[in-house]
Amino acid sequence: MAYDPGADVIEVVRAPKAGPARASYRAFGETLRGLKTTMARWAEGTHTFQYPEEKTPVYPRFRGRHKLHRFEDTGLEKCVGCSLCAAACPADCIRVVAAENTEETRVSAGERYAAVYEINLSRCIFCGYCEAACPFDAITMGHDYELSDYNRSDLIFTKEMLLAEPLERTPLRRAGE
Amino acid sequence: MTTVAEVGYYEAWWIQLLKALVIFIAVFQLVPVVLLAERKVLGRFQHRYGPNRTGPYGALQPLADIGKLLFKQQFRPRGAVGWMFALAPAISMFTAVATMALIPFSDTVNIFGTEVGLYGIDPSIGILYAFAFGGLAFYGLVLGGWSSGSKYSFLGSMRAAAQLISYEIAQGLALVGVVMMAGTLSLTELVAAQSGPGNVWFIIPQFVGFIIFLVAGFAETNRPPFDLPEADAELVQGYSTEYGGGRFAAYYAAEYLNIIVVSAFVATLFLGGWNLPFVAPPEWTHPLIVLGKTIAILFLFLWVRATLPRLRYDQLMSLGWKVFLPLATVNALVTAILVVVL
């Protein structure tokens, strides 16, 4: 007895078989169907972002340019110069030189602070491992993706640049967008 | 001396010169328009905008393209046959322009007291003239590909030759029905046969001929789905692989000019030229009506390009020989019987 697929049968649309009538249908009927399909694509309109004027919105967890953070109440830097981010970085693009906080100059909340904190964004692969490695949430990935520059040296971001409040250049994707 | 053809209406030499210039300039202006329209229309078919940065709505894009091409080096491969390599794009250009002269935009009209026919020339062998130059146009492709001294170009020109013989007979036979119904080869008389009460556009009685002529037109202009000679995916642009700069621009312009000419021919032969159904349009609108119909067919060219994939080499030949040739023959036969009986 032949196999009965029952109610689960999926209707298969097969190509027309060879033969004069079928062939002419294939030549003209299917061509007309194709023309209809392409015209329907036109009717759907464009999906293009007019980039420099209209920016692609990013998701909240998008990994763009890094940001360094301060404590909001005290204004002290969160980074304690532990270099875990530099150790975690697969591209080896983070350079941290730590220094001791003293009584007179207190930069961070911990014992030490990052005297030099540089990220070479021309090497960075935006994997987010630095963010994951940081025990104090001092470094996070931001949303900025417009990072081109004319000089490679301009892409080495220093601590001041990473701490500064970044320009909100890229829109965040709204829910459901 | 035997007369090859007679010309419907003679003008003074300066009028002929003047109108030749005017028609050439007017129709040649369509080339950049089609160039831009193709890219924009194709973009729309693919959910894109197409070029819209160069000038308002991207209107200066063709100018930028042509400017870029003209400032490029005139490159010639070492194995190329020099004079033929330079001649081939000129042949393509020449035949395209020569065929353009046939397109009638109106009958003879009175401009400032002078009777002027709004066409380049109206020979009594109009359609044959068009076919002669359509056949010559392929020398541009074949010689260009052959003289380049490159395998890809050679394959492209081989395909051009094979394509020519597979569609051209069917294309000619498709028009036999039209010619029999009108009883003339002159294009203005063909349009006149589609005007007036009791006459319909030839697309209605000659629908099969229309389809065959249109499809053969796609093949004649090397447009997708019949762009086998330049098949950029497998032949790296085929016959024009080795061309660059101004010569490539000539090929490029000739291709678009050919599309315009074929569209205008379809409009003239099957869509009634400057006639409109039910109303008799005033004389000054005639060129605009022809232009409008031409643009409608041009859009169809772009639409088909966005829709159909390229045919295989043997598929085109079997389509030409096994489908269109018998179909066109039967069409001509049936028309002949009906013309005699009715």
Residues A103 and A156 both lie in one domain: yes
Domain that holds residue A85: 66-163
One DSSP character per residue, B170-184 reads HHHHHHHHHHHHHT-
* A41 close contact with B: CB closer than 8 A: yes
B44, B211, B304: residue with CB nearest A42: B44
Residues A86 and A136 both lie in one domain: yes
pLDDT at A176: 64
Q: Dump strand ranges (E) for chain A.
A: 66-68, 94-100, 112-120, 139-141, 156-157
Q: Is residue A95 part of a domain?
A: yes
ipTM of the predicted structure?
0.72
Q: Is residue A52 part of a domain?
A: no
Give the pLDDT mean for B119-131.
81
Residues A40 and A74 both lie in one domain: no
Taken in order A73, A74, A80, A81, the sign of the CA dihedral is positive
Residues A139 and A73 both lie in one domain: yes
Residues A136 and A73 both lie in one domain: yes
How do residues B79-115 score in pLDDT, each as one tens digit? 777 788 888 888 888 888 888 888 888 777 767 767 7
Position A129 confidence tier, pLDDT thresholds 50, 70, 90: very high
Cross-chain Cβ contact B308/A31 below 8 Å: yes
Q: What average pLDDT does chain B have?
A: 83
B210 pLDDT higher than 80: yes
Q: Are B157 and B146 in contact (CB under 8 A)?
A: yes
Task: State the best of B47, B211, B310 to mutate against chain A, taking most chain A CBs within 10 Å.
Answer: B47
How do residues A93-103 score in pLDDT, each as one tens digit? 999 998 888 88
- Torsion angle of C-alpha atoms B58, B59, B63, B69, degrees rounded to 10: 40
Q: Whole-model pTM?
A: 0.77
Residues A112 and A34 both lie in one domain: no
Residues A39 and A119 both lie in one domain: no
How do residues B236-250 score in pLDDT, each as one tens digit? 777 878 887 788 888
Tell me how many domains chain A contains.
2
Q: Is residue A2 part of a domain?
A: no
Backbone angles phi, psi at B114, to 5 degrees: -115, 135
Look up residue B309 and give its DSSP letter. Answer: P
- CA nearest A41 in B: which residue? B45
Q: Are B11 and B117 in contact (CB under 8 A)?
A: yes
The CATH number that applies at residue A140 is: 3.30.70.3270
Q: Is residue A96 part of a domain?
A: yes
pLDDT at A90: 92
Residues A27 and A94 both lie in one domain: no
Residues A39 and A114 both lie in one domain: no
A35, A44, A45: residue with CB nearest B307: A35
Q: Are A107 and A113 in contact (CB under 8 A)?
A: yes
Residues A33 and A70 both lie in one domain: no
Residues A83 and A151 both lie in one domain: yes
pLDDT at A144: 83
pLDDT at B82: 78
Q: What percent of chain B has a predicted confidence (pLDDT) above 70?
A: 95
Q: Is residue A61 part of a domain?
A: no
B1 pLDDT higher than 60: no
